[in-house]
Structure 1
């Protein structure tokens, strides 16, 4: 099922349109780049444009898993945190963008079909979450929107340092 924002109304449409806008900014930032450019660090940070696409897709997927399955749905094997912001051996920008599109489509369908945006789960145990705190699906979506917007801004800085292109300014 493909979700069209025109078929939704109210809050769900607004949330998905806002998320789509920030996803679009992020995708626009990598337009016209080759794999080498997408993998290049342009600042002292570990962030790369391809790595940001990978990170945002992974983050959105994990949080939407939480929205439907709680903290247990977010469990991952320990990973290289710096490495998740870089393109790995054999990864391509086209492949990362395709994966991001698949995550976005699943999120959009989920938001359109979930019976209740107020449904909530206890957050995973982590030092940055208050013990026992709960987030609703709505709060998860707001977090995903904020995460995507923040990283679209990071991507804009990296792109400008790469070749002078300003995608958001």
Structure 2
């Protein structure tokens, strides 16, 4: 009889308590929260279809006015907004040209992809080198300024100490 009680308690411990220790359940909802009704299969299908459409559209570089309506100006706007859009297009145009170059090279195979990747890495290396040079130059200027301040602060102390 005792063996049966011990086995049942051990079984209950593993089934309930150990599970709660290893994988604690989340806190219950607060009393003021109302539960939403479950969606029907048709509504779930519509939600899944719309979510997949938005997800697929997000992979396009220019998303378009249907996803970001505030980012696109209407055709009837004044010329100032069009001039501002043109300036942004040139900055983005240089970025897309490298991506387009890689896309075209990838379609051509490994023979065309290798030189395109080398150009990309060389431009990145040049940008990194220039940034490192400018950092070193700024660091050296900062060190020089600190040395000058230290020399200036040491001189008045020595002159006041020698006069007494």
- Same structural fold, with TM-score higher than 0.5 when normalized by the shorter chain: no
Structure with bigger helix share is 2
Q: Which has the higher contact order (CA 8 A, sep 6+)?
A: 1
**Larger of the two Rg values belongs to structure:** 2
